[in-house]
């Protein structure tokens, strides 16, 4: 068992040499609705979704689209804060705290 884990780690390190992993810091200056993120998922289309205190944010790798609660839209987000995210079998994104 330990041998397999070591091989997996070594393969990951070797792949990182060929394809370096980079991390970019993204914040409100980049369009994120809050610097405090509660939930993150990647959907089946490759978009990254971030649940924050101030709405749901979709990131395509270059820019954000922010979805916020509108009390006049009964089909929209049920609240301002998004705590947990999931994608259903129809590729819809749900706030799991409110999904029943």
pLDDT of residue 14: 55
Q: What is the mean pLDDT of each run of 10 residues along the chain (100 residues)?
A: 44 60 83 92 94 94 93 86 91 72
Put simply, whether the predicted model's pTM sits higher than 0.85 gets the answer no
Query: How far apart are alpha carbons 47 and 62 in whole angstroms?
Result: 11
pLDDT of residue 23: 75
Alpha carbon distances (Å) from 66 to 6, 51, 59, 60: 41, 10, 9, 12
pLDDT of residue 97: 66
Structural domain boundaries in the chain: 27-95
């Amino acid at each position: 068992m330990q041998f397999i884990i070591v091989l997996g780690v070594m393969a990951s390190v070797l792949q990182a040499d060929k394809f370096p992993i980079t991390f970019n810091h993204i914040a409100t200056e980049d369009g994120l609705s809050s610097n405090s993120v509660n939930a993150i998922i990647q959907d089946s289309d490759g978009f990254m979704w971030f649940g924050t205190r101030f709405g749901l944010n979709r990131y395509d790798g270059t820019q954000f689209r922010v979805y916020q609660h509108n009390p006049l839209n009964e089909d929209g987000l049920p609240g301002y804060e998004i705590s947990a995210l999931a994608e259903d079998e129809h590729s819809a994104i749900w706030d799991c705290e409110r999904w029943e």
